[in-house]
Structure 1
């Protein structure tokens, strides 16, 4: 990973990227930027490449949990360095991706992934990085998996719940349990 890794406590970088937001002709694409998450909690998760094997399992699981994120007033965003047309084709051709309810951000310039410090050295694809960003645009949690290991969406939700309590949460804490005050 690059030396300029964006970590907890840092301001999330500015971005404005073409994204796939649907499959309806004429309404497939939209630019997504920091303005879309301003004043809201947000989760942005990255995958290495479209048309691969681990990635659609993660994307489908985030989509399955879409309401769990919206119930927490959290904007869900997916991203990779593939272009918007590749994202669109993948959505059209993969049964688990047709009905996605969140945008697939295209960082074709790799500028955002590079600024985050999440590009692999060799192929310059994004690691499986997940960011929880608070309403002030501050990174509150980062998790990065190697390319071969999918992430745990339940853990993302658990950490989001803990952060939103704004209290001390012990090991393995889950929503509804006592905090440490």
Structure 2
């Protein structure tokens, strides 16, 4: 599995966003950083139970991530058409307005090393990637346990300080300053 310090794979992948039109071959180029941080999070499968709670949770914080020069990118091993149908079926998912990678060939999930060999789907993996496309944080959960998007935001804040941040540190708190 790729980890902290590794470069995010530079792939161009199918992507789906919005509910106004059927997917028409749109892609996302992961090599293009636009000078921004990336929050890339995978869920195992569309039309399931835990996954929509995470997607909605991340979607609710989209503006907070944007305020920190970070873009949200969701992903699963489903197709763009399945993503589209799922978004159309659930108003809360329709509002989760960020790109969803359709990694049905499992190219990125395989490159990241996050495929569950038994189920053939991606684990619940979160990657925080800096503007140079270097992975700065990785968190991976099994298939049954959802994540806390606010914790991803807290870790991003800590990473962006470029300081020593103690346990449970949050924005506004003192960072650690070793004695000189």
Q: Does 1:105 align with 2:101?
A: yes
Structure 1: 5+ residue runs without aligned partners? none
SS at structure 1 position matched to 2:139: strand
Q: Which of 123, 128, 133 is the aligned partner of 1:127?
A: 123
In 2, the alpha carbon distance for the partners of 1:145 and 1:42 equals: 19
Q: Which runs of 4+ in 1 moved over 4 A?
A: 26-29
The Cα offsets for residues 30-69 of structure 1, whole Å up to 9 and x where unpaired, read as 2111244342111000000000000000000100111010
The 5-angstrom pairing of residues 35-114 of structure 1 reads 35-114=31-110
In 2, the alpha carbon distance for the partners of 1:46 and 1:177 equals: 30
Structure 2: 5+ residue runs without aligned partners? none
The Cα offsets for residues 110-155 of structure 1, whole Å up to 9 and x where unpaired, read as 0110010000011210000000000111000000001000001111
TM-score, length of structure 1 as denominator length = 0.94
- Cα RMSD between the aligned structures? 1.4
TM-score, length of structure 2 as denominator length = 0.94
In 2, the alpha carbon distance for the partners of 1:54 and 1:16 equals: 27
The Cα offsets for residues 69-115 of structure 1, whole Å up to 9 and x where unpaired, read as 00101011000000000000000001211122201110111011001
SS at structure 1 position matched to 2:52: helix
